[in-house]
Structure 1
Amino acid sequence: MGEVRKLQKKLRQIENLEIKISLTPEERYKISRKAELRSRLAELQLQLSGLQQTLGIVGDGKKEKMKRQVEDAPEALPSQTPPASKILKEENESKAQATPAPAARQRESVGNAAEIVRLQEATEPAKVPHHGGDVSGNRPDFDTEQQLQEEEAAFTSLKASWEKARFRLRLLEGHNDIVTSVVAVDNLVVSGSRDTTVKVWHVPTATEHKNLGGHTGGVTCLSAPPPEYCKRLAWSLSLSDKERFILSGSADCYVKIWALSIGQCVKSIYTFNAVTALCFVPEEDGYIITGSDGGKVQTWSWHTFQNCQSVNAHQEAVTSIQSQGPLVFSGSAEGGVSVWENRCSNHDPLRLLQHWSSQVTDLGGEPGGRLTLSPRGDRVFLAYGRAWLKILHWRTGMMSRLTNHCSITGVTDCVHQTGGLLIGSSYDLANGESMLNLFSLPQCRYLASLTWPTAPRILCFAAWTTGSGDHRWVTGGRDLIVWEQLPSSGKQRGDVTVKRDSRMDSCLLESEGDTEDDEETDDYEDEAEENSRPGGTEDVGSSSWLRCVLQ
C-alpha cells in the first residue's frame, strides 16, 4: 500500500511539472518516466484489489462513510458582512441555502433567514428553508414538504434532460504547446498558450482568425474587459466603439492589451514579476488585478495604466484571481485564499477582508501546486489537483468538499460556473482518462459526466450560450476544443453523448469533519528515481516544449 501511495504522489508531481512554463533537464527526465510509473501502478492495483475492483474505487467500508451526506455549512452571520455595499445583490442570491441531502433535511439551522434564489436555469426552483412552527397559523410543514417534492421533481427533470444532451466537438489546431487560458468574446474564442502566442478563433467556422505574437514568455492568463470599458479605451485610441480588447499575462513580466479587430497590442504594462494570474474588475474606472510567481497581488488603473497597489499577499505563486462585483478572490500554489474589497480608490484600492491559509483550506503540500477558484456569493469553489472540489465559506472559514472523481488517483484541474451549472474537470492519473462533471447549482448535486475515448486533460474552461439558449464551451489543455450543444435528434458520427456515473450519486457533498483525507501528505525523497537515472546529464531533447505536453 505504501508503494501505491508513493507512485500516486510521483504521478501527481509529474503532472504538475508538465504544466509549468519552463522545465529543467531533471524535470524533463522525470516526465519521461510517467508511462513506466503508470504501468507499475496499474500492476499494483490489480494485485491488491483483484479483477473486480481496483484500488482507486471506494471500497465497501468507505462507501458507507461517503454516503453520509451532510448539509452545507451555514452562511455568514449578519455581523460578519463586510462593508461592500455594491455586492448586496449578489449576497441576496448567495445566502440561499444549498439543497441538503435527504438525511440532512430535518437538521435545518433554526433562525437562519429564508432567501429566495432566482436561478438562471428555469428548471431550478427556489428553496425556502423550514424553520419550525409558524405563529401566523400557516402550515409550514405541509408547504415545506410540497416545495421539497417540487424541487426534487425539478432536479429529476433537469437530470433527465442532461442525460439526453449531446455535444459536437471541433478541434482548433494552431498552438504547438499546451493551452493555459481561454476566454470567449462574442463569436470569438481567444486562447493563450505556453508557446508565447495569443490566438483568436472564429467559432462558427472553427478557423484561426488572428495570431497575436509579442510575448517572449509563455502566456499564463487572459481576461476580457466588459464592452463599456472597451468603449472608453477605444475612444482614447480613435478606434471603433465596437472594438473589443483582451488582456494577456505572461512569464515575461508583461501584461499586454490587444485590440481584436486590428490584431495589435495597444498597450504593454511591465510588472517586474512573472505574471501568473489576472482579472479585470469593472468598478468605477476599472482595475486590472495581477498575481505574480512570488505571491504578489498588484492593482493597475484601467484609466492611467499606472500601478496603484502592490501587496505581498501569498507565500507562493498566485495561480488564480477572480472578481465578483467589488470583491476580488486570489488563490495561491500553497493553498491559501484571500478575499479583497475594491474601494475604488486611486491609492491602495484593495482592502483585505479575509485570508484563509492552507491550514484552513487543507490544500497545498504539492510542489508546484495549482489552485483555481470560482466564487459564488459567500462560497468559493476550489480545485487543487485532488479527486474532489473544496467549498470554502469565505466569511466563516467553514469547509466542505464535493466528490469529483470516484478514484483517489483522480485530479481536478479547473472549476467553472455557467448558468445553473457547476462544471469540474477530472483526470485520472492512473489511466489518463479525462472528463467534465456537471453539478446543479446551488445544491451541488451531480447531474452527468461528459467524456470520449481520446479525451485530453482539461486545464482551462470558458462557456457561453447561443441565441437559442444552447451551451457552447471551449476547453484548453493539450488540445483546444469547442463544444457545441446539439438538438435532441439527428445524431451524427463523432457526437459526444452525456453519461452518468452511478457511483457519484452516493458520494456527493461532505463536511470536512466527516471524512478522512485519503491523500498521502508526507513528503519523501525521490531516491529511487534519482538512483535509477543513467550516468551523465543527458538532454532529453532540445524541443523542451514538445517533450512536456500533456499525455
Structure 2
Amino acid sequence: MGEVRKLQKKLRQIENLEIKISLSPEERFKISRKAELRSRLAELQLQLSGPQQTLGIVGDGKKEKMKRQVEDAPEALPSQTPPASKILKGEEESKAQATPAPAAKQRGRGGETEIGRQRERTEPADVSHHCRESDNERQLRQEEAEFTSLKSSWEKAKFRLRLLEGHNDIVTCVVAIDNLVVSGSRDTTVKVWHVPTATEHKNLGGHTGGVTCLSAPPPEYCKRLARSLSVSDKERFILSGSADCYVKIWALNIGQCVKSIYTFNAVTALCFVPEEDGYIITGSDGGKVQAWSWHTFENCQSINAHQEAVTSIQSQGPLVFSGSAEGGVSVWENRCSDRDPLRLLHHWSGQVTGCGGEGGRLTLSPRGDRVFLAHGRAWLKILHWRTGTMSRLTNHSSITGVTDCVHQTGGLLIGSCYDLANGESSLNLFSLPQCRYLTSLTWPDAPRILCFAAWTTGSGDHRWVTGGRDLIVWEQLPTSGKQKGDVTAKRDSRLESCSLESEGDTEDDEETDDDEGEDDNDHGRAGQRDDVEDSGSGSWLRCVLQ
C-alpha cells in the first residue's frame, strides 16, 4: 500500500505542475512520466482490488475498519433526542412497570369493574402509540417514494455542453447572473458571457495578478450602489478578488471598474453578506479575514483567523463560514456594526475536520447546521458546525479520486470528482437533505472541474457552468431527442452501496508522508521539494495560481 500512496502523491504533484504558467526542465520531465505512473498505479490497484475494498474505498489493511452507518435526518444533529419510536417505546415500558398488575383472582362484579377501568386507562395510550407509529411509517414511505421518483428522473437526465472559449489560462472561479456567466481566470481577466449565444459579452481587464474569486451582490444592493454612482438602477455589479491584493467592483452593463479596494494581502476568497448595509468579506493568502463596508468601502475589521491561506468563504444569512488550506473551518456571526462586525462562534481545526494536506485547497458549502467540505480526497466531509462532529460521504470509488469543489442547488448536492489514475472527471449528484446518491454525469476527455455555478431557467430546467482548463455551460435537455456529444446520466454501481458514515476519528483520512521526498531523490535532487508540497501561508496560491 505504501507504493500506491507514493504514486498517488507523485500524480498529485504532476497535476498541480501542469497548471503552472512556466515550467522548468525538471518539471517537464516529471510531467512526461504521468502515463508511466498511471499505468503502474492501475496495475497495483488491480492487485489490491477485491477483499481490500470496503464501501468503494481502497484502504490500508492496518487502518481499515467498517464505520457504522447513521441516518442523517433533515438538519438533525447527533446531540438531538432519539427518534419518536424509541421515546414511545421507553414510555410504554415505564408505564407497564408503574402500573400494578391486577389481582390473580378477581371476584364478583367489583373485580370486573376494576379490569374495565384498567382497559380504559391503557387502551387510549395503545391507540395513540399505534397511530404515531403509523404516521412515522407513512412519512418514511413518502420520503422513499419521493427519492425513488427523483432518482428515476435524474437517471433519464441529459445535458448539452457548450464550450466558452476566450481565457488563456485556467478558470479559477465562476458565478451566474440571469443569462450571463462571469468567469475569473489565472490570466488576470474577468470575462462576461452571454449564455444563450455562448459568446463573450465583455472582457474586464484591470487586475495584474490571477483572479481567484468572484461574488455577485443581490439586486437590491446593486441598486443602492447604482444610485450612489448615478447609473441605471438595472446595472448589475460583480466583485472580483485577485493575487494583486485588490478587490474590484465591476459594472457589467458598461463594462467598467467602478471601485478598487486595496487589501494589503493577496485575496484568495471573498463573499458578499446581504445584511443591513451589506458587507464584503475577504480572505487572504496569509490566513487573514477582513470585513469591508458596502456603503463606505472602508475596512471594518481585520482578523488573523487561520494559520494558512483562506481558500473558501461563504455566507448563510448573517453567518459567514471560512475554510483554510490547513483544513480549519471558522463560523462567524455578522453583528451588523460599523466596527468589528464579525464575532467568532466556532472554530474547528484541521485535526477535527480531517481536511487539508496535499494541494492545500478546501472549499465549503453551508446548509443549516452542516457544512459540506471538499478537500482533495475521494470523499466529501460534512461538519456539524455546532458540535464539531464529522461525517463523510463517498464521492469516488477509489482513493485516487480527488474532490475539488462542492455545490448545492435546489435539492441537489453536487460534488466534482477527478481520478488521478486515469484522468477521468465527473459530477456526482446526491439528494438533499439525506445525501443519498442519485447519479453521475461524465463524458469522454472531460477536464478537471475546479469551480461550479448553477441556476434554473424559467421552465425549471437546470443550467450549470463549470470551470478549470475549460469553461463549459451545461444546459438540461428534454428526455427525448439526444444528439451526438450530449451528456447522459450514468449510475456508478460502486457508489450505490455507499452511504453517509459517521467518524469517530480521522486517522483513515491521513496519509503518511514517509515517501514525501523520494520523487525528487530519484533524479539526484535530494532535499529539493516541489512547490506544490511547500507548507506556509501561500501554499494554496502556489499550487493553483502560479
Scaled by the length of structure 2, what TM-score is found? 0.84
Q: Which residues of 2 match residues 33-432 of structure 1 at below 5 A? A: 33-49=33-49, 58=57, 68-72=68-72, 95-96=75-76, 110=81, 131-132=87-88, 137=128, 139-366=131-358, 368-432=359-423
Give deviations 1:80-104, integer Å, cap 9, x for gaps: xxxxxxxxxxxxxx64579xxxxxx
Q: How far does residue 513 in structure 1 lie from its aligned partner after superposition?
A: 2.6
Contiguous gaps of at least 5 residues in structure 1: 75-93, 99-107, 113-127, 538-547
Q: How far does residue 525 in structure 1 lie from its aligned partner after superposition?
A: 3.6
Give deviations 1:224-273, integer Å, cap 9, x for gaps: 00000000111111110000000000000000000000111000001010
Give the residue type in structure 2 aligned to 1:333. A
Q: Which residues of 2 match residues 19-34 of structure 1 at below 5 A? A: 30-34=30-34
Cα 1:356–1:519 change in 2 (3 A) is: closer
Q: How far does residue 129 in structure 1 lie from its aligned partner after superposition?
A: 8.0
- Asked which structure has the greater CA Rg, the reply is 2
Partners of 1:357 and 1:25 lie apart in 2 by: 38
Matched-pair contact (CA < 8 Å) for 1:298–1:307: yes
Partners of 1:132 and 1:244 lie apart in 2 by: 55
Give the 3-state SS of the residue equivalent to 1:153 in structure 2.
Answer: helix
Matched-pair contact (CA < 8 Å) for 1:66–1:506: no
Give deviations 1:453-501, integer Å, cap 9, x for gaps: 1111000000000000000000000100000000111111211100101
Greater alpha carbon shift after TM alignment, 502-511 vs 395-404: 502-511
Matched-pair contact (CA < 8 Å) for 1:97–1:129: no
Cα 1:56–1:149 change in 2 (3 A) is: closer
Partners of 2:39 and 2:59 lie apart in 1 by: 26
Matched-pair contact (CA < 8 Å) for 2:378–2:402: yes
Matched-pair contact (CA < 8 Å) for 1:297–1:311: yes
Give the residue type in structure 1 aligned to 2:455. W
Give the residue type in structure 2 aligned to 1:163. E
Greater alpha carbon shift after TM alignment, 199-208 vs 508-517: 508-517
Contiguous gaps of at least 5 residues in structure 2: 92-124, 529-542
Q: How far does residue 111 in structure 1 lie from its aligned partner after superposition?
A: 5.4
Partners of 1:203 and 1:25 lie apart in 2 by: 40
Give the residue type in structure 1 aligned to 2:342. L
Match of 1:529 among 494, 510, 520: 520
Partners of 1:39 and 1:95 lie apart in 2 by: 43
Q: Find the counterpart in structure 2 of residue 494 from structure 1.
A: 485
Matched-pair contact (CA < 8 Å) for 2:179–2:196: yes
Give deviations 1:105-147, integer Å, cap 9, x for gaps: xxx96457xxxxxxxxxxxxxxx98742696926111111111
Partners of 2:80 and 2:159 lie apart in 1 by: 41
Matched-pair contact (CA < 8 Å) for 2:4–2:41: yes
Q: How far does residue 10 in structure 1 lie from its aligned partner after superposition?
A: 2.2
Cα 1:446–1:256 change in 2 (3 A) is: same
Q: Find the counterpart in structure 2 of residue 7 from structure 1.
A: 7
Q: How far does residue 322 in structure 1 lie from its aligned partner after superposition?
A: 0.1
Q: How far does residue 206 in structure 1 lie from its aligned partner after superposition?
A: 0.4
Tell me the C-alpha RMSD between the 2 structures: 3.0
Give deviations 1:496-539, integer Å, cap 9, x for gaps: 1001011112111001138861652335442342441699x9xx
Greater alpha carbon shift after TM alignment, 503-512 vs 384-393: 503-512
Cα 1:395–1:96 change in 2 (3 A) is: closer
Q: Find the counterpart in structure 2 of residue 454 from structure 1.
A: 445
Matched-pair contact (CA < 8 Å) for 2:20–2:544: no
Cα 1:354–1:14 change in 2 (3 A) is: farther
Partners of 2:504 and 2:377 lie apart in 1 by: 17
Partners of 1:282 and 1:153 lie apart in 2 by: 37
Matched-pair contact (CA < 8 Å) for 1:130–1:141: no
Cα 1:151–1:48 change in 2 (3 A) is: closer
Partners of 1:96 and 1:383 lie apart in 2 by: 21
Cα 1:26–1:140 change in 2 (3 A) is: farther
Q: Find the counterpart in structure 1 of residue 99 from structure 2.
A: none
Matched-pair contact (CA < 8 Å) for 2:351–2:506: no
Give the 3-state SS of the residue equivalent to 1:459 in structure 2.
Answer: strand
Cα 1:173–1:12 change in 2 (3 A) is: same
Partners of 1:403 and 1:505 lie apart in 2 by: 10
Q: What is the aligned residue count?
A: 492
Match of 1:472 among 463, 476, 499: 463
Tell me whether 1:443 sits opposite 2:431 in the alignment: no
Partners of 1:327 and 1:518 lie apart in 2 by: 28
Partners of 1:173 and 1:129 lie apart in 2 by: 57
Scaled by the length of structure 1, what TM-score is found? 0.83
Q: Find the counterpart in structure 2 of residue 120 from structure 1.
A: none
Q: Find the counterpart in structure 2 of residue 80 from structure 1.
A: none
Cα 1:375–1:488 change in 2 (3 A) is: same
Partners of 2:77 and 2:156 lie apart in 1 by: 29
Q: How far does residue 59 in structure 1 lie from its aligned partner after superposition?
A: 6.4
Partners of 2:424 and 2:75 lie apart in 1 by: 36
Q: How far does residue 38 in structure 1 lie from its aligned partner after superposition?
A: 2.2
Q: Find the counterpart in structure 1 of residue 540 from structure 2.
A: none
